[in-house]
Structure 1
Amino acid sequence: MLERYELEAFLTLAEELHFGRTAERLGVSTGRVSQTVKKLERRVGTPLFVRTSRSVRLTPVGQRLYEDLLPAYRQLREAVTRATEAGRGLHGTLRTGFGPAWGGDLLTAAADTLLARYPGCEVTVREVPLDGGFGLLADGTLDVQFVAFPVREPELTAGPVVVTAERMMLLPANHPLATRPSLSLDDLAGLPMILPEGANPRYWIDHHYPRRTPSGAAVGRGPTAATWQEVLAHVSAGRGVAPGAALGASYHPRPGIAYVPVHDAPPVEYGLAWRTASDSALLRAFVEAVGP
């Protein structure tokens, strides 16, 4: 069984490939690192590193050992961290927000899970209107937000995809295309698409509200909307069409709106984004509670 200092010395040297930097990271002398690695090599029975006056590199056996040990070491550290945090308890307030209605359900459930585990903390959940974009994250009003990807803001960190939903097009129920079993992106040519107001990034708008079809035809531009309810009102009144997700059909059913799949469009991906500067044990615990 490896001692902790042997494990840390080996993994750190495998990453740094430099005895001086390894010693600096571990807070020990270079000689101590060298002695520890030699002891480990004697135990294994074969060299783990090739050392020259100019370089350090892993042997094939050392590379395999590194790849085998690293996941287990990370799991061990995370387990100790979770246990330590549970023992100390998490405190403070985390401000969360959501745009799509199903995001509100996810955040509320995660908040309940977190509060049951850490009663000393507080989680607030608020809705972010369609025109809000990432603004409430950027100005510090929110710490974390459930969003439709992509997120490429330099001050924000994007987490993993939590929800994937089939992309739909919302059409007035009496529109000629509304009775089709599915649409293609080329069917959007000339249709007036309802656009979100506000400061949503250009790359985000272009991803969800394309300006042209794959064949190059222009997609029309309809009225703008600040909230999802305004989008539904515009579509129902026949003023335009809007992109959406399959989940919306169950959360926002309207007699005047048809939800039609777009068979050649990529799915809509949702997840969490947070202010990088807001990173904390409480935020990480919340992200873990949301999933995936």
Structure 2
Amino acid sequence: MDLRLLRYFTVLAEELHFGRAATRLHMSQPPLSQQIKLLETELGTPLFTRTQRRVELTAAGVALKGQAALVFAQMERAVDLTRQAGRGHWGTLEIGMISSLMVGLLPQALRIFQDRYPDVKWTLHELQPAAQQAALKERRLDLCFYRMGPNDPELTSEPLSSEAIAVVLPQQHRLAKRTRVALKDLAEERFISFKLDQSRFAAYLYQSCIEAGFTPHVYQQVVEVQTLLSLVRAGLGIGLLPASTGQFGHAGVVYRTLAQPAPGTTLYATYRKDDPSPVLQVFLNIMREMIEVPDR
């Protein structure tokens, strides 16, 4: 059915007068009468009864009037959603992340994003970087966050923020009284590390120790930050973590700054090069704004 015919019908059903309806539609009365007859022929039933004194809806006309209102309301909704989707104000966003990022930039950006664009449904997926990258290439994720940029021609990364690496010690550790600890001072310690075969960040920290003059004794390898902190608190070893993870407030451990030269870490946002998603760009723009105005 031609929506123009439905529009003509709706106006006439509201006015019940061909002259007034034609005026509202900015057309003359004869063409309006022809269009209504065309609609009635298409539907196979009269929609109006016409006399010299009045125009009234038939039972079929009453039914169509009610349904036409729903059609136009849905059309307006469709147009509005389409425009919102085109601007990135409606849709979905699947985000991959590692648990250590749930302090600082990312949760703040999510709060701003939620406040500005409540019609976008976003979902967090807590995954290791290798799993994030695979899901991103398989289009199960739209955006990933981790601390080492990918080496993949299908993906692009942009650095968002950098921070220092801190050594995490049991509260009663011999080095806990210091304000700064040199990496080489950890040569005899047992390390609690993220899994070396799954985390490029862990491999980077391992190599940093080698460059400092020793091969670290990796006592246990874990996946989650909280597991690492719990093992350190129990006195089973020490760890190297981004300084921001100290905001988790894990009792029984202390964070100490590494003396220079010391490794650092950068947070990257990673996404597919061929992804045109407006929602993705809107979220990335929020993070870029936060970097430009860090005290936001």
TM-score range relative to shorter protein: 0.5 to 0.7
**Alpha-carbon spacing, 1:190–1:153, altered in 2? closer, same or farther (3 Å):** farther
Task: State the distance in 2 between where 1:197 and 1:223 align.
Answer: 9
The match for 1:273 is 270
Query: Residue 169 of structure 1 is aligned with which of 167, 170, 177?
Result: 167
**Alpha-carbon spacing, 1:249–1:104, altered in 2? closer, same or farther (3 Å):** closer
8 Å CA contact 1:96, 1:107 repeated in 2: no
Query: Residue 249 of structure 2 is aligned with which of 224, 228, 252?
Result: 252
Please tell me whether residue 208 in structure 1 is matched to residue 205 in structure 2.
yes
Please tell me whether residue 286 in structure 1 is matched to residue 287 in structure 2.
no
- Per-residue CA distance 1:16-57 (angstroms, 9 max, x = gap): xxxxxxxxxxxxxxxxxxxxxxxxxxxxxxxxxxxxxxxxxx
Query: Residue 186 of structure 1 is aligned with which of 181, 184, 187?
Result: 184
8 Å CA contact 2:85, 2:278 repeated in 1: no
Q: Which runs of 5+ in 2 are unaligned?
A: 1-81, 292-296
Please tell me whether residue 223 in structure 1 is matched to residue 220 in structure 2.
yes
**Alpha-carbon spacing, 1:217–1:284, altered in 2? closer, same or farther (3 Å):** same
Q: CA deviation at 1:117?
A: 4.4
**Which protein is bigger by CA-based radius of gyration?**
2
**Alpha-carbon spacing, 1:115–1:181, altered in 2? closer, same or farther (3 Å):** closer
The match for 2:150 is 151
State the SS of the aligned residue for 1:204: helix
**Alpha-carbon spacing, 1:155–1:235, altered in 2? closer, same or farther (3 Å):** farther
**Alpha-carbon spacing, 1:219–1:119, altered in 2? closer, same or farther (3 Å):** closer
**Aligned residue pair count:** 203
Instruction: Name the % identity.
Output: 24
Task: State the distance in 2 between where 1:237 and 1:99 align.
Answer: 23
**Alpha-carbon spacing, 1:245–1:215, altered in 2? closer, same or farther (3 Å):** closer
Task: State the distance in 2 between where 1:272 and 1:88 align.
Answer: 22
The match for 1:134 is 130
Q: CA deviation at 1:241?
A: 1.2
8 Å CA contact 1:133, 1:198 repeated in 2: no
- Per-residue CA distance 1:115-134 (angstroms, 9 max, x = gap): 55445432222433xxx223
8 Å CA contact 2:195, 2:202 repeated in 1: no
8 Å CA contact 2:133, 2:144 repeated in 1: yes
Q: Which runs of 5+ in 1 are unaligned?
A: 1-83
The match for 1:124 is 123
